[in-house]
């Protein structure tokens, strides 16, 4: 069984307050209630659309901008042989040069067990200024099976880059 759910209110506020300390905690709590879970545009869509949780303007000269989604992907499959790949919506890429800084986000099955509850955050960049509004679709997640040549006993403890040296 696999599903998307929100991270806890505590994780949402902790993350957003760290990224933007000038915004009061009460604002983040209000925004938490409006977070939309990913959806599919049609029954044959491969990707699950992710939504921007608040209005934001991304400027070409900004470099990377972090968008916390408030979402985590949970799977109870014991073999962990599926991965969630995050990709920009193609229209945004074509019109604005919108892309994820890590090109494609890889969310492993055990990421939901990370210290940050598996909070999916997108680090994005544009070539042409882009305004996104709360509820706009901005990236999509595709769940795919994969095969591995090597096994590991290492347990995940963190988020971005936590399994690397």
Radius of gyration of the chain (CA): 16
| 0.85 exceeded by pTM | yes
- What DSSP string describes 52-118? -SS-EEE-GGG--EEEE--EEEEE--TT--EEEEEEE-HHHHHHH--EETTSSEEEEGGGGGSTTTT
Three-state SS at 35: coil
Answer yes or no: is pLDDT of 76 > 90: no
Per-residue buried b or exposed e for 41-52, using 16+ beta carbons within 10 Å of the residue's own CB? eeeeeebbbbbb
| Mean pLDDT value across residues 125-152 | 92
Q: Are 72 and 112 in contact (CB under 8 A)?
A: yes
160 three-state secondary structure? coil
Beta bridge partners of 142: 85
Does the pLDDT of residue 77 top 80, yes or no?
no
* pLDDT tens readout for residues 14-55: 999 999 999 999 999 999 999 999 999 999 999 999 999 999
């Amino acid at each position: 069984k696999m599903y998307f759910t929100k991270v806890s209110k505590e994780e949402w506020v902790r993350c957003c307050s760290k990224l933007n300390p000038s915004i009061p905690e009460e604002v983040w709590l209000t925004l938490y209630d409006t977070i939309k879970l990913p959806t599919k545009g049609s029954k044959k869509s491969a990707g699950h659309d992710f939504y921007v949780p608040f209005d934001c303007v991304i400027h070409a000269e900004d470099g990377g901008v972090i968008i916390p989604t408030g979402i985590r992907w949970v799977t109870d499959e014991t073999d962990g042989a599926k991965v969630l790949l995050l990709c920009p919506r193609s229209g945004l890429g074509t019109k604005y040069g919108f892309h994820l800084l890590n090109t494609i986000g890889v969310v492993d099955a055990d990421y939901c067990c990370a210290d940050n509850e598996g909070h999916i955050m997108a680090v994005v960049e544009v070539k042409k200024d882009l305004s996104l509004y709360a509820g706009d679709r901005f990236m999509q997640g595709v769940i795919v099976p994969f095969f591995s040549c090597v096994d590991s006993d290492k347990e995940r403890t963190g988020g971005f880059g936590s399994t690397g040296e």
